[in-house]
Amino acid sequence: MVCREEEQQVKSEGHAFIQHIALFSFANVLALVCNGVLTFLLPRLLAMETYGYYRLFVLYGGFAGVLHLGLLDGVLIRWAARPQQRLAAELAGSVTFLLGAHAAIVLPATGILALLFHSKPWFFVVTALALYAVVFNVATLGQNALQAEKSFGLLSLVTVLNPAVLLVAVVLLHLFRRLTLGAVIAAYIGSALVAAIPVWIALGRRFWPKRRNLQSSWRVGAHNIRIGWTVLIALLLTNVALALDRIVVSIGYSIRDFAVYSLAATALAVVNTIILSISRVVFPYISNGMSREKQVQAYWSGEAWLVGLWALSLAGYFPLRWLIQWLLPNYAGSLPVLRLLMLGTGLTGIIHILQSNYFRSSFRLGRMLTGCAVGLLSALGFLMIARRTGQLSMMALAMLGALAVWWMLNEYLLGDVTGRGMGSAFRTLAVMCICGFSFIVCSSVSNAGLAATTYLVLAAAIVIYVYRSVLKAIPPAISQPIRRMVSIFGE
């Protein structure tokens, strides 16, 4: 009887997991449509220099999370284990602590910068970043609460709402001839604020207490920071490592070169958004009592799916190439960069979705920090060498090499958690190298239709043959068409 109940519970959790993945994926499809339009609309409407400064704001706005000092990472780790109890006890105190910490850090820093650099042309961007940090961190705290209690319905709405509001704002600003740098940055901050409102209304109705105690808020905040600061540092190093190429280009190249490089990176926002969204869904399930045997199986299956999806997604380069050549001919220089950056998305997906979540759920935070540090140092070293060439494509190649080093080290550090030897890692690397080489060769062909078709056939054959054992675990309604393809390449 007990075994039957456990089996039913496992099935129920599995169905819920699939439903949440499907719901979040659908929301991301809608969000990606909006982001995809913005990817090509903004560089078309803005001057190249203006677009470069806008992307500069977005780049450094990505590090706004450092100002929460680890609070948001601590609450996610603790709330994911017992969401209802801890949300009711700690949500109000956490947001009070967060606002107080920002007031203590942001206001004095902005005041000092205003006294020293108020006449500089970039001071407006710095001020906007300070405001965005507050909005972003408060919004993220609410999203972490939804993630912890697996409220992916509302979280999906937020995922769509943010880029949709920004897209509408950009179109209206253009129609009224008000699309300046200041206006588009204000729209960016405003869209994040609008998306946060329904989250906090829902959370306030369910978890907001009638009385708040400042001493209790301090105690809750300090406790969560002690838990989350190592994750914050690891994630900060992760973000710096992944964005280091753009940081170096923003410092060492002209704003026009930065705009060209940023367009290539922005075109990958589709893939990166999917990666981060799936990572949000995966963590609560891994941290909620999954057995070691299931963790090992989930890691192998997850990696197989990620590599397969990455290999097939590389075909997206061909329509992107056509769109850039047609809509944004001034940004044609971004195509060699885009081609190389797309090769790194497979490694980025494994690092974010699998490795980072397994490090956190198994509390191997020190190892996670080690991997991030080595990844950052590798990126820095490779980029310094690449910068001497003065070629943007070499900067992208340097990032690809750093990602490979980082991923391989993480595989080694997670060996006792995943039960995988380095032989499995080298097999995955071999599959990615073969697919990557096929992509580079096919993308050099001028006939985009022929190139895309040839590459898709090659990639599908490689992935299906190597990961045919994973396909056997797929439900029959989905797997039967795929298994027919497997028979072509042999068991």
pLDDT per residue over 194-231, tens digit each?
A: 999 988 888 888 877 656 667 778 888 888 899 888 88
Residue 280 has pLDDT above 70, yes or no: no
Averaged pLDDT for residues 355-376: 83
pLDDT over threshold 90, residue 27: no
Q: How far apart are CA 75 and CA 70, in angstroms?
A: 9
Residue 474 has pLDDT above 80, yes or no: no
Q: What is the pLDDT of residue 477?
A: 39
**What does the pLDDT read at residue 228?**
86
For residue 192, what pLDDT band results from cuts at 50, 70 and 90?
Answer: very high
Query: Which range in 154-168, 198-212, 355-369 is most confidently predicted, on average pLDDT?
Result: 154-168
Contact residues for 430 (Cβ-Cβ < 8 A; gap 6+): none
Residue 338 reports pLDDT greater than 60 = yes
Report which of 132, 134, 66 is spatially closest to residue 100, judged by C-alpha positions: 134
Band (pLDDT 50/70/90 cuts) for residue 107 is confident
- pLDDT for 61-71, tens place per residue? 989 888 888 88
Q: What percent of the chain clears pLDDT 70, i.e. is strictly above it?
A: 82
Average pLDDT over residues 110-137: 83
Higher pLDDT, 245 or 309: 245
Better pLDDT: 117 or 340: 340
Q: Is pLDDT at 4 greater than 90 in this prediction? A: no
Average pLDDT over residues 185-192: 96
Residue with tokens 């940081």: 247
pLDDT surpassing 60 at residue 57: yes
pLDDT at 362 over 80: no
Contacts 24+ apart (CB under 8 A), 183-191: 184/42, 184/46, 184/54, 185/54, 185/57, 185/125, 185/128, 186/128, 188/57, 188/58, 188/61, 188/132, 189/128, 189/131, 189/132, 189/135, 190/165, 191/161, 191/162, 191/163, 191/165, 191/166
**pLDDT, greater one: 88 or 368:** 368
The pLDDT > 90 percentage for the chain reads 37
Confidence of residue 16 (pLDDT cuts 50, 70, 90): low
pTM of the model: 0.81
In this prediction, residue 119 carries a pLDDT of 75
pLDDT tens readout for residues 380-405? 999 999 999 989 999 999 999 999 99
Q: What is the pLDDT of residue 286?
A: 52
Q: 5-34 burial, b if ≥16 CB within 10 A, otherwise e?
A: eeeeeeeeeeeeeeebbeebeebbebbbeb
Q: What is the mean pLDDT of the chain?
A: 82
Q: What's the rounded mean pLDDT across residues 85-101?
A: 83
